[in-house]
Structure 1
Amino acid sequence: MNRTNQSHHFPGPGTLDRALNLVRFLRCECPWDAQQTAESLIPHLLEETHEVVDAIRNGDDLELESELGDLLLNLAFQIVVAEESSEIDADSVYARLESKMIARHPDVFGAGEHQEWEALKNRERTKDTGVLAGLTKGLDPLTRSYRIQERVSSVGFDWDDARGALNKASEELEEAGNALDSEDFIEEVGDLLFACVNLARLGGTHPTTALERANSKFVGRFEKLEKLARKRDIDLSAASLTALNKLWDEIKSEERQ
């Protein structure tokens, strides 16, 4: 049957149901979709997640709408694949989510006073389970460090404020400097990065957010530097670091005006 140019409507009481029915249809009609497994779809899930993040940071609503749709498709795919091979389905996924949110919002659902998120999650773990058990292995290193610190903070292992974390970061910076030409450098610079993540956390920001802002700022300034160099017929590859720094400082000065 030729379905070209045909309009399809996938029924369901809600958007998720329609997305699930779309995936079920694709699994029946498209050989590629039918061959996919939960594991084979992981790269697509990760890619679409990053594209959603890019759209958010770009402030582009149309792009975000499109990328959220792609992410929804991937989530629906995972649910459909799971329901084909196990007792998991959309209802069980939502039931688990609802139960978890009610337990973690006692103040909202009339079950008690507001409590810190990590403290509530820590209470859900069994007595024989360590605070750091079950950390997601697929997290990027900065986020993993952040989560480690959040969890140990929930049992009181933390600095009183950001000043303590700043002092620790300064200490680790000195140790990294002392190890600059030794085999210990990788360990010491790792400790420095871990301390900086802690500083960001206690300072009220996520390290990936802070680092991405720094990345964007650097890229923007360097692109201006390239443009300025072309305007003045300066060959970047042949220019001295002193000359490049002079252009860099000029750009920073213009931004302050």
Structure 2
Amino acid sequence: MTTTNNLSGVAALLEVMRRLRDPSGGCPWDLKQTMTSLIPYTIEEAYEVAAAITEGDVADIKDELGDLLFQVVFYAQLSEESAQFSFDDVAQQTADKLIRRHPHVFGDSTTQTDEEIKAQWEQIKAEERANKGGQDSVFHGIPDNLPSILMALKLQKRAANVGFDWDTIAPVLAKIREEIEEVEAELACKERDQQALEAEIGDVLFAVVNLARHAQVNPEHALRRTNLKFKQRFQAIEKRLNISKQRPEDLSLEELEAHWQAVKSESS
């Protein structure tokens, strides 16, 4: 006996969700969940999608996208039970918003270049925020609990939209050098102020995010790629050492560096 009554795709998933939340026969764990309790799982699933895409495994990407979609369906089911909105309402509102934000596709706008489209998108979003009311800052609507890199990027973009930005990349690079010098100065103090050092290193990170933005590089993607590269190279060192029954902690830094350079040349 099928649980979806021969339904398929989204309809089948929605029916499965309803069964899981059925008070008389549903899953005890699913019945306990609230929108708040699901937040950690949603964040985790989003990162797992990103990891699968970075790895490039199509089967994993499909699987992780399904897990993330299930999170959306779960939230919609909880809201439908409290008569707030349904999954279809979410889908329709998103479709309407995309149509509104793409007048060059669905309307009569003649915008064509990437720069024009981006400026038009930001202008429409700004108008939407203003129409919601209560906008007393260019940063209105940015969630306080965003990951730090994404938060930095969004703050910089909003400030840039009102003209607080450099026109060229040279001063962006100069700012990074300036911030690094301030870190060096803090490190050189006889009595280190750990809070001041943290603030200076934070300034360096913020400036590097700004460089990524000006270079049209997504800083989250860039760092994720570097993290993966570091992990793979160090695991390659571990594999080399395992052959000779050695462990990384048994070697000196110089010896580990020699292995690192060997692995690096092999992978380049």
CA 1:17–1:232: 2 relative to 1, 3 Å: closer
Aligned to 1:118, which of 115, 122, 137? 122
Give the alignment's TM-score, normalised by structure 1: 0.88
What is the alpha-carbon root mean square deviation over aligned residues? 2.1
The answer to which structure has the higher helix fraction is: 2
In structure 2, C-alpha distance between the alignment counterparts of 1:159 and 1:11, rounded to whole Å: 58
Instruction: Indicate which of 80, 83, 106 corresponds to 1:83.
Output: 80
Q: In the alignment, what sits opposite 2:92? A: 95
Tell me, in whole angstroms, the C-alpha distance in 1 between the residues paired with 2:242 and 2:29.
48
Counterpart amino acid of residue 147 in structure 2 = D
What are the Cα deviations for residues 66-105 of structure 1, in whole angstroms up to 9, with x where unaligned?
2222222211110010111142122322232122212211
Structure 1 unaligned regions, length at least 5: 1-5
Instruction: Tell which deviates more after alignment, 145-154 or 236-245.
Output: 236-245
> Normalising to structure 2: TM-score of the pair?
0.84
> Which residue of the other structure, out of 3, 6, 22, is the alignment partner of 1:8?
3
Aligned residues: 250
Letter in 1 for 2:11: D
State the match for 1:174 in structure 2. 181
Indicate if the aligned counterparts of 2:54 and 2:225 stay in contact, CA closer than 8 A: no
The percent of aligned pairs where both chains have the same amino acid is 37
The 3-state SS of whatever aligns with 1:39 is helix
Q: Distance in 1 between matches of 2:64 and 2:236?
A: 29
**1:150 is matched with which residue?**
157
1:1-257 to 2 correspondence within 5 Å?
Answer: 6-10=1-5, 15-28=9-22, 29-30=25-26, 31-114=28-111, 115-116=117-118, 117-126=121-130, 129=135, 130-180=137-187, 181-183=192-194, 184-232=196-244, 234-256=246-268
- 5+ residue gaps, structure 2: 112-116
Aligned to 1:158, the other structure's residue is in SS state coil
Cα distance in 1 for residues equivalent to 2:162 and 2:5 = 48
Q: Which runs of 4+ in 1 moved over 6 A?
A: none
CA–CA distance in 2 between the matches of 1:192 and 1:67? Answer: 34
> Aligned partner of 2:14: which letter?
L
